[in-house]
Amino acid sequence: MKDPLTPYGNKPMVTPIVHSVNYEYESFEVLRQITDGEIDGYTYHRDDNPTVRAVEKRIAEMEHGVDAIISTTGMAACTMVYFTYLKAGDHIILFHDIYGAHYKVSLILERMGIRIDWVDAADASQLEKYIQPNTRMIFCETPSNPLIKTIDIAEISKMAKKHNIIFVVDNTFATPYHQLPLELGADMVVHSATKGLGGHNDLMAGVIVVKDKEDYEKLWFTRQAIGTTLDAYSASLLERGLKTFYLRARKMNENAQIMAEFLQKHPKVKTVFYPGLPGDPGHEISKKQMKNGFGGMLAFEVGETIEDAKTMINNLNEIYHAVSLGATESLICIPFLTTMLYLPAERRLSFGVKKNTIRLSAGIEDADVLIKDLQKALEAV
Ligand SMILES: Cc1ncc(COP(=O)(O)O)c(C=O)c1O
């Protein structure tokens, strides 16, 4: 049968958006071949969709994985990983400095009989003492959210392998432009593709990239069961975002480095968290495991109080006061009031997220415009 999308063999430059959620079976034999996995075919959107599938293959290549599973959001991707590999009685290690919504998910996991240790993993040598016979998974972000800590992927991968533990790295902050966790030994990579991969604040999606087909099958089973399959239109937007991804990531990295160096010298700014600064605790590890620079995310403490942080943000004109990250526009927020709000206040503070800690996601604007904006806003503090 001729492919209806390419009847003369000329392929479209853009993957068509296949809106259909249902497919007419050509025959019982074709149905059997699809069900038995002998051919790649489509039956129902919750199972698979050709637009989504094309983007999965592209992101798998970008992350040097074997395959990828796309989901409705980044948190759906993380939750699919938890649901696929964990059972009652298991123990997992989560790092303090990961996106705040994991705290909510952790409450659900605990209800299901999974035990969790929250660990500061910037020093990998401290991690082994938390490992127990029932430890099943280690999950981290590096650079982390929101304090931009660096975690030594190769070191932790070695330890995880020794104890037969699944090691998952959220690569949302670093992106594949800077870091390839699978090459460094991680078992799986997750992304909020809502961020840098999509890049335009106009879609939500998550991705899990795997190293072997068996994991793809397991995660596919979970997605098919719980129904976290992305719609074709969002997948098409994501494909479009990917076309400019490397250019955007390069510019974001340049802007982040320039802003971090500027902030570091400013008298109203106390600490700057950015692995591209030679004094940053993660600088040496980042030099080893990241390439093309150190990413588009930084954080800093301004003044002494939350009011100082609010004053600064209120006096910005070009940088948007908003959550999320990895977008064409620079975005700034106070994690204590936003991304980490779900955690009890004492937990936020004990992890080092202060009330005057500000997180900044570099966009692709002219660096001069951003520096002038920061300068003016800091004068108001
Ligand atoms: C590092 C990181 N991972 C995962 C998520 C969750 O992504 P989503 O908002 O697409 O569910 C976020 C959200 O901000 C994030 O920052």
* End position of a domain, from candidates 223, 243, 263: 243
Closest Cα partner for 258 from 363, 127, 126?
A: 363
Which pair of structure tokens corresponds to residue 322? 């908003």
| Residue 312 CB less than 6 A away from ligand 1 | no
Task: State the CATH number of the domain containing residue 308.
Answer: 3.90.1150.10
Residue 119 lies in a domain: yes
The minimum-distance atom of ligand 1 relative to the CA of 324 is 14
Closest Cα partner for 323 from 339, 301, 337?
A: 339
Which pLDDT tens digit goes with each residue over 163-214? Answer: 999 999 999 999 999 999 999 999 999 999 999 999 999 999 999 999 999 9
Same domain, 266 and 342: yes
* End position of a domain, from candidates 182, 210, 243: 243
* End position of a domain, from candidates 215, 243, 271: 243
Q: 39 falls in which pLDDT band (50, 70, 90)? A: confident
Which pair of structure tokens corresponds to residue 59? 């992101």
The pLDDT value given to residue 4:
60
Residue 8 lies in a domain: no
Average pLDDT over the chain, rounded to an integer: 95
The pLDDT value given to residue 23:
95
284-309: burial string, b at 16+ Cβ within 10 Å, e else = ebbeebbeebbbbbbbbbbbeebebb
Closest Cα partner for 122 from 284, 298, 332, 291?
A: 284
Same domain, 103 and 162: yes
Same domain, 66 and 186: yes
Distant-in-sequence contacts of 126-130, Cβ < 8 A, 24+ apart: 127/93, 127/156, 127/159, 128/159, 130/93
The pLDDT value given to residue 213:
96
| Residue 95 CB less than 6 A away from ligand 1 | no
The pLDDT value given to residue 5:
63
Q: Is the Cα dihedral 194, 141, 224, 117 positive or negative?
A: negative
The pLDDT value given to residue 377:
98
Reply yes or no on whether the pLDDT at 253 is more than 90.
yes
The C-alpha R_g of the chain, in whole angstroms, comes to: 22
Span from the CA of 81 to the centroid of ligand 1 (angstroms) = 14
Same domain, 183 and 276: no
Task: State the CATH number of the domain containing residue 141.
Answer: 3.40.640.10
Same domain, 309 and 368: yes
What HEC string does the chain produce? Answer: CCCCCCCCCCCCCCCCCCCCCECCCCCHHHHHHHHCCCCCCCCECCCCCHHHHHHHHHHHHHCCCCEEEEECCHHHHHHHHHHHHCCCCCEEEEECCCCCHHHHHHHHHHHCCCEEEEECCCCHHHCHHHCCCCEEEEEEECCCCCCCCCCCHHHHHHHHHHCCCEEEEECCCCHHHHCCCCCCCCCEEEEECCCCCCCCCCCCCEEEEECCHHHHHHHHHHHHHHCCCCCHHHHHHHHHHHHCHHHHHHHHHHHHHHHHHHHHHCCCEEEEECCCCCCCCCHHHHHHHCCCCCCCEEEEEECCCHHHHHHHHHCCCCCEECCCCCCCCCEEECHHHCCCCCCCHHHHHHCCCCCCEEEEECCCCCHHHHHHHHHHHHHCC
Same domain, 128 and 147: yes
Span from the CA of 86 to the centroid of ligand 1 (angstroms) = 21
Residue 136 lies in a domain: yes
| Residue 361 CB less than 6 A away from ligand 1 | no
Residue 368 lies in a domain: yes
Closest Cα partner for 319 from 250, 371, 357?
A: 371
Which pLDDT tens digit goes with each residue over 93-115? Answer: 999 889 999 999 999 999 999 99
Closest protein CA for atom 2 of ligand 1:
99
Q: 291 falls in which pLDDT band (50, 70, 90)? A: very high
The domain of 56 spans 28-243
Which pLDDT tens digit goes with each residue over 125-142? Answer: 889 999 999 999 999 999
Contact 193, 205 (CB under 8 A): yes
Name the residue of 195, 202, 359 whose CB sits within 8 Å of the most ligand 1 atoms, as the mutation to test its pocket.
195
Query: How distant, in Å, are the alpha carbons of 74, 84, 260, 348 from that of 336?
Result: 21, 31, 20, 7
pLDDT above 90: percentage of residues in the chain:
90
Reply yes or no on whether the pLDDT at 1 is more than 60.
no
Span from the CA of 75 to the centroid of ligand 1 (angstroms) = 6
Residue 2 lies in a domain: no
Count the domains in the chain.
2
Closest protein CA for atom 3 of ligand 1:
192
| Residue 145 CB less than 6 A away from ligand 1 | yes
The pLDDT value given to residue 22:
96
The pLDDT value given to residue 121:
72
Residue 87 lies in a domain: yes
Same domain, 347 and 251: yes
Query: How distant, in Å, are the alpha carbons of 279, 324, 336, 341, 355 from that of 74?
Result: 32, 11, 21, 18, 26
| Residue 97 CB less than 6 A away from ligand 1 | no
Please give the positions annotated as active site: 46, 99, 170, 195
Residue 351 lies in a domain: yes
- What type of residue sits at position 376? K
Same domain, 229 and 84: yes
Which pair of structure tokens corresponds to residue 378? 């800091």
Reply yes or no on whether the pLDDT at 9 is more than 80.
no
The pLDDT value given to residue 228:
98
Which pLDDT tens digit goes with each residue over 307-351? Answer: 999 999 999 999 999 999 999 999 999 999 999 998 899 989 988
Reply yes or no on whether the pLDDT at 271 is more than 90.
yes
Residue 23 lies in a domain: no
| Residue 99 CB less than 6 A away from ligand 1 | yes
Tokens 């239109």, residue located: 233
Q: Which residues have a Cβ under 8 Å from the Cβ of 95 and sit 6 or more positions away?
A: 118, 119, 120, 121, 139, 140, 141, 144, 151
Reply yes or no on whether the pLDDT at 2 is more than 70.
no
The pLDDT value given to residue 3:
67
Reply yes or no on whether the pLDDT at 92 is more than 70.
yes
